[in-house]
Every structure is written in C-alpha cells, then in structure tokens.
Amino acid sequence: MDRITITGGRPLNGVIPISGAKNAALPLMIASLMTGETLELGNVPRLADINALLRILGNHGVDHMVVGKRPGQTTETGQTIRLTASNVIDTTAPYELVSTMRASFWVIAPLLARFGEARVSMPGGCAIGTRPVDLLLMALEKLGATVEVDGGYVVARAKNGLRGGEIHFPKVTVGGTHVALMAAALANGSTLIENAAREPEVVDLAACLTKMGARIEGAGTPRITIEGVSRLHGARHDVLPDRIETGTYAMAVAMTGGDVTLENTRADLLHAALDVLSTTGAEITTGVDTIRIRRNGGGIAAVDVTTDPFPGFPTDLQAQFMALMTLAKGQSNIRETIFENRFMHVQELARLGAKIRLEGDLAIVEGVERLKGAPVMATDLRASVSLVIAGLAAEGETSINRVYHLDRGFEALEAKLARCGAEITRVRS
C-alpha cells in the first residue's frame, strides 16, 4: 500500500493550480443519466472517485470518452469527459460498485425520473458518520415514488412518472438537494424545495441542468422551484473550482509560512474559511480567479470555529484547520456540527505532538511550539490531508500510510506541493 513521506519545516512558495471540484463533478456526471444525448463536462479532476463513478455509470450502459488534452490543460488541471446515456440497459446499481463511494447512490434520482424505476444498493463511503439516506428517499416519495428496502437495496418505482410536489427538508442536506433537483427536473408539474442546501456544488448542478433544458429558479437560496419538463438534452459545462482544495492549500501556507498564489479558483466559494484564515494572521489577497496567501513566519493566532452548511465554515475543512491550530498561540475551540465521527484525525495529530482534547462535538486544541514527524495513518479523505499539512510544518520526517484516501479527492497533490518547495514523496508499495 502506498505511503507519503514528508520532511517538514520548509515554507511554501510558488503557484498552485486548483482542480475542478470533486463534489461538483460527481452529481454532474450522474446527471448524464437524465438524457440520451451527450453531456460534455470540462475541468473534471483526475481522481479515484471519478474513475469509480465512470465504472458505475458504465454498468448502467453510459458510454464515456475522455477527450484529448486541450490548450492550457496539464496533468495537474482538469480533463474533459463526454458522457452519453442513449442506451441505458440496467437500472440496478449493485452493492460491489455503490459500496465504494457514497455519492453513487444519487443515480437513483435520474434512473427513477427517466425510466420509472431504480434498484440501488445502500451506499458506502467514508466512515465519518451514519449519513442516512432517509431524507433522500423522503424527497422521492414527495414526488410520487414508492420506495422500499429489500435485501440491502432501495427499490424505487414511479410507473406513471414522477409528479411535482413540495419537499421540506428538516435539516440541510446536500445529497438530498441533489437528488430532489434531478428528480424534479423530469417530474410532471412544479416542485418546491424548502430548506435546500445552498452549497456552490448545488448551484453548479442546477446551472448544468438548466443548460440541458431544465427550468430551475432559486439555486443557492433555501427555496428552489422547479418546473418539470418532459425531456432534457445534451450540453457542455465546466466543473466549478474545488473550494475544499483551495482552502486546504491556503491552510498549508498559513501553517508553514511562505507565499503561494492559488490559480483557477474563486474566493466567493469560501468566504467563511478565508475570513477565519485572515484572523489567524495569514495575509490574503484575492483576484478574479486567484487567491494569494502569505505568512511571513509570525505566530499563528488561535481562532474558534464551528462548522456549518454553506455559507458557513465547511466541515470538509475542519480537519485541515485543526492541523493549523495545533501550532497556534493559545487555545482554540473547534465544534463539528455536521458529522458525528469527524474527529478521527485527532489521535493521529497527537502522534505528531499535538495537544487536543475532545468533549462530544467539541475539540479543544492547545497550541504547541512545534510538531515532530512520526508515522501516522489516514482514516478518511479530509483527515488524511490534515496529516499532510501537519507533516509539512513538523520537524523531521512524517510518514502517512493508507494514502488511497488522498487519491479520492486531491489531484496531483505531491506534484503541486513539491513545485512550491515541499519535500514530499510517494513511496509505491
């Protein structure tokens, strides 16, 4: 099994191109099931999760083609993929495929909306909480589907097609909003989604569906209205920049010191995280599609953070921010409100010398003067990259095992960091 070794203590200086957002690309790829015409997606990151979803879509009969390199593209930026679901032959998504990635469960919406039935295995994915699918299924039932669980599979049917309805989510759910959007786009009549997720990835899906002929208003607000149409057509759409990758590299610079410009990104996608970083002492300058982060070696200020749905501080940056706070001056309180098991990185950070105490959903971090390299184990995607950030700042060598988690969500991570001066190497097993 591959591992990454890092010799820390080097500031980061240079330019890092930001990839397309995995969390936007996955629902966009799934949306290809909603039309028999070709959906072309640009700026798709090269990640294990993307390849896994291509296999899942291929099992349904979706053809895909990775387009050759275009001007400005490198192995560290995006790729273009064409997806054509003109000959869907199977509306079952089997356990052996869905169990590898949670987001693949969302295929239930376009399959049900377009073909009137879907049989999808209960999902797998990162072990960061139960993340039940009950709200997703509730949304489908509100649109007239019958849903039952049989032998570990969710079987959804709408023999006469879905019909518009009112969906009131009791709590914000990104997956539920994705599913509701796709299902409602092909439902007969109008649909209202209340307490919808406002995440940029939801807005990106709505924009793509609109290009395909859907009639959607209000994406990015808690209230979305959809007027169903009988069919959708092909389209061309570029995946938005990855705000989590952007925030991750910004926090790495804030922790190690240095001066890095992040290119092909947007500050409006992560205002809350950038505001918090500024409070820690990092200097942040934003441009049209760039964010520059500088820290001249001065101390890191301790800051309290609570994760919240967008536009709040993202749960997907909580682990990275905790790594930063391990070297802050004083005590910081980090409260996780989204996922109940998302503190699994705490014990691994402690192996590097961090002082962190857990009290329920609260992590209390006492800053230390230095971290020291050690062997650590990645437990999930965001936890693994928090260990990379900590290793970049730690004295000596840090060895991170089980880095397949990183390959699920960070494109060319070692190359991007190495180009900015990090001493980081992947050791192949």
Taken in order 275, 291, 284, 385, the sign of the CA dihedral is positive
Q: What's CA 52's distance to the chain center, in Å?
A: 15
Residue 397 phi, psi (nearest 5): -100, 135
Query: Distance (Å, rounded) from C-alpha 28 to C-alpha 238?
Result: 10
* Annotated binding residue 22: yes
Q: Which residues 6+ apart lie within 8 Å of 134 measured at CB?
A: none
Which uninterrupted H or E stretch holds 49? helix 48-60
Which uninterrupted H or E stretch holds 53? helix 48-60
* Annotated binding residue 134: yes
Alpha helix ranges (H) inside 157-314: 174-185, 200-211, 243-256, 271-280
State the CB neighbour count (10 A cutoff) for residue 76. 17
How far does the chain reach from its first CA to its final CA, in angstroms?
5
With helix as H, strand as E and coil as C, how does 88-147 read?
CCCCEECHHHHCCCHHHHHHHHHHHHHHCEEEEECCCCCCCCCCCCHHHHHHHHHCCCEE
Nearest to 304 by CA among 322, 281, 320: 322
Query: Distance (Å, rounded) from C-alpha 420 to C-alpha 429?
Result: 26
Active site residues: 126
* Annotated binding residue 316: yes
Given strand 38-44, what is the order of strands in its sheet? 63-67, 79-84, 38-44, 235-238
* Annotated binding residue 338: yes
* Annotated binding residue 131: yes
Nearest to 108 by CA among 65, 60, 62, 63: 60
Residues 134-150 as b or e (16 or more Cβ within 10 Å = b): ebbbbbbebbbbebeee
422, 397 Cβ separation under 8 angstroms: no
Nearest to 60 by CA among 123, 103, 119, 100: 119
CA atoms within 13 A on the CB side of 239: 31
Query: Distance (Å, rounded) from C-alpha 355 to C-alpha 389?
Result: 16
* Annotated binding residue 135: yes
Query: Distance (Å, rounded) from C-alpha 287 to C-alpha 72?
Result: 19
Query: Which residue ranges are tagged as binding site?
Result: 22-23, 102, 131-135, 316, 338
Query: Which residue ranges are tagged as binding site for UDP-N-acetyl-alpha-D-glucosamine?
Result: 102, 131-135, 316, 338
Query: Which residue ranges are tagged as binding site for phosphoenolpyruvate?
Result: 22-23
